Amino acid sequence: MNKPALQGAGGRQATAAPFAIELRGISKAFGPVQANRDINFAVPMGTIHGIIGENGAGKSTLMSILYGFYKADAGQIFINGKQTAIPDSQSAIRAGIGMVFQHFKLVQNFTVLENVILGAEDGALLATSLTKARKVLMNLSSEYELDVHPDALVEDLSVGHQQRVEILKALYRQADILILDEPTGVLTPEEADHLFRILRGLRDQGKTIMLITHKLREIMETTDNVSVMRRGTMVGTVKTAETDPAALAELMVGRKVLLEVAKGPATPGKVVLSVHDLRVRDEHGVERLKGVSFDIRAGEILGIAGVAGNGQSQLLEALGGIARATGQITLNGVELPLSGSGANGRARRAAGIAHVPEDRQALGLIMDFPAWENVAFGYHTSPEYQKNALILDNAAIKAETVAKMERYDVRPPIPGLSAKSFSGGNQQKIVVAREIDRNPDLLLIGQPTRGVDIGAIEFIHKQIVALRDAGKAILLVSVELDEIMSLSDRIAVMFDGHIMGTADPKTTDERALGLLMAGIAGEAA
């Protein structure tokens, strides 16, 4: 199949014009792993094209090939109908491709203007470039409703504005093709809507946009066409108007997926966790959690919504015994120490708190350890893992790992394989298996499905609901509003270290939550 699958599916423009991007037979292998296999697809000019796929499906590899970070093993790239070699990112920029990365590449203490011309200065003297750039920037900024002041310092800008600076950078380099990698992960719903307005404006001016995401809703709302990747291959390109989320999810995973979480009504019991005026300072002495109070009852999931970086991490760390805190934490009527020797992970586990950390690779796992050693991580002092006072019972840990891998469908089920060799979803399953299997009174779970593929998301959500139905208390922290809305029995929204308000997921909507996430106290409470 040499012909691109999209032939004739022209989106908004006639197909007579050459494609903005056309890939033919692109393949790329990393050692034994075939990251991209014979990828063929084309993006018509002046359209928004979605690329969707599970983690590890090869989206990022493909984009890196387009931007000159990797060299394809085979295949050709056509830009505007002309075959183009892209050996490095400079060539990509010359070919008119601009990239907005998931993690911004901005100099924090430079102004917007300085950031925009960085690497694209005209000559040795800065002043001439700056004057020229200022004019261009003002035009671009007003033309596309970007609303960024050229002299503002980047560190003073909100995340949404920083992203717009990245877009400006690409436009200043005269990009006609804009690639955005998971652009909404760090945005409030409000900021995301603004971003999509900007993108539509750019499209209407004739720019071509490629949007890489795993959020089906964004694809449905924004794109003209969508390509689905699965395990390194392009499984199909369709017009967005002619498809629906369920069909896309099935294409991504290769089987039918339950997008809604099936759960019955909660039957809350007695108060398990009571938090009063909890405060945490970070290592720079800045207060990040500024007096938070709430209760969680048995058999209840409390969801903490909020844009990343508004104190949710500190809340989890204080509860999990990692960060020092002031205030009061009471578990089953017993006050827990907040600093000193009793305030550590081991003591918290002994008290009945299990913790699935937000960053499983940095906190929850030792990536170089085999799976079985990770199954004991944090519980290595438990009596069932000891052969005698001195020696660990490695055989018992391995046997338990085999059992857990079976129960939680960890693939591949090899206890001796190092944690880093598992996919993100299976790493998370190892952590979830370790923590939930302890049958804790309180489960802290942060970003349970970040970087986890759809099939595993469904499974992890089921485990969380099952634990709730077993009468345990659960604190769920997630930046995915969909996840919070579908799992939680109650929602608390955090902003700037405070709880801005609480809401009932049955009666609230994303708009109301979005206002709270942006720090605007509203009627939702």
Return the range that interacts with another protein (CB under 8 A); candidates 120-128, 143-151, 365-373, 449-457: 365-373
Return the range that interacts with another protein (CB under 8 A); candidates 123-131, 148-156, 216-224, 320-328: 320-328
Q: Does 376 bind another protein (CB under 8 A)?
A: yes
3-state SS class at 426: helix
The H or E element spanning position 294 is strand 287-297
| Nearest approach, Cβ of residue 363 and another protein (Å) | 4
Tokens of 22: 């056309």
Rounded to an integer, what distance in angstroms lies between the CA atom of residue 488 and that of residue 475?
A: 9
Size of the site for another protein (CB under 8 A): 35
Q: Which of residues 400-419 bind another protein (CB under 8 A)?
A: 418
Rounded to an integer, what distance in angstroms lies between the CA atom of residue 509 and that of residue 493?
A: 13
Rounded to an integer, what distance in angstroms lies between the CA atom of residue 180 and that of residue 242?
A: 23
Q: Does 101 bind another protein (CB under 8 A)?
A: no
Residues in contact with another protein, shown as a per-residue x/- string from 27 to 66 under the rule CB under 8 A = --x-xx----------------------------------
CB-nearer residue toward another protein: 142 or 394: 394
Adjacent-strand bridge partners of 180: 100, 211
Q: Does 364 bind another protein (CB under 8 A)?
A: yes
Q: Does 322 bind another protein (CB under 8 A)?
A: yes
Of these, 138, 247, 266, 347, which contacts another protein (CB under 8 A)?
Answer: 347
Adjacent-strand bridge partners of 328: 276
Q: Does 345 bind another protein (CB under 8 A)?
A: yes
Burial class (CB in 10 A: 0-12, 13-18, 19+), 109: exposed
Q: Note the Cα 256 to chain centre separation in Å.
A: 23
Return the range that interacts with another protein (CB under 8 A); candidates 220-228, 296-304, 361-369, 452-460: 361-369
Q: Does 377 bind another protein (CB under 8 A)?
A: yes
Of these, 122, 282, 368, 496, which contacts another protein (CB under 8 A)?
Answer: 368
C-beta atoms surrounding 435 within 10 Å: 24
Q: Does 283 bind another protein (CB under 8 A)?
A: no
| Closest-CA residue to 294 (of 285, 303, 286) | 303
Q: Does 339 bind another protein (CB under 8 A)?
A: no
CA angle 429, 430, 431 (to 5 degrees): 90
| Nearest approach, Cβ of residue 33 and another protein (Å) | 8
Q: Which of residues 459-498 bind another protein (CB under 8 A)?
A: none
Residues in contact with another protein, shown as a per-residue x/- string from 235 to 254 under the rule CB under 8 A = --------------------
Look up tokens 């070919």; give the residue.
Answer: 95
Q: Does 327 bind another protein (CB under 8 A)?
A: no
Return the range that interacts with another protein (CB under 8 A); candidates 131-139, 144-152, 360-368, 438-446: 360-368
DSSP code per residue over 16-28: TSPEEEEEEEEEE
Of these, 270, 380, 407, 511, which contacts another protein (CB under 8 A)?
Answer: 380
Return the range that interacts with another protein (CB under 8 A); candidates 93-101, 202-210, 231-239, 356-364: 356-364
| Nearest approach, Cβ of residue 376 and another protein (Å) | 7
Rounded to an integer, what distance in angstroms lies between the CA atom of residue 57 and that of residue 66?
A: 16
CB-nearer residue toward another protein: 245 or 345: 345
CB-nearer residue toward another protein: 196 or 372: 372
Q: Determine contact, residues 346/381, Cβ cutoff 8 Å.
A: yes
Give residues with Cβ within 8 angstroms of 283, minimum separation 6: none
Q: Where are the alpha helices (H) located in 210-271, listed in sequence order?
A: 216-222, 245-253
| DSSP 8-state secondary structure symbol assigned to residue 263 | -
Return the range that interacts with another protein (CB under 8 A); candidates 114-122, 154-162, 184-192, 339-347: 339-347
Rounded to an integer, what distance in angstroms lies between the CA atom of residue 412 and that of residue 421?
A: 10
Pairing of strands 334-335, 326-331: antiparallel
CB-nearer residue toward another protein: 215 or 434: 434
Task: Give the 3-state secondary structure of 192-219.
Answer: HHHHHHHHHHHHHCCCEEEEEECCHHHH
Please report, as ranges, the residues that interact with another protein according to CB under 8 A.
Answer: 29, 31-32, 320-322, 344-349, 355, 357, 362-369, 373, 376-378, 380-381, 386, 390-392, 394, 418, 421
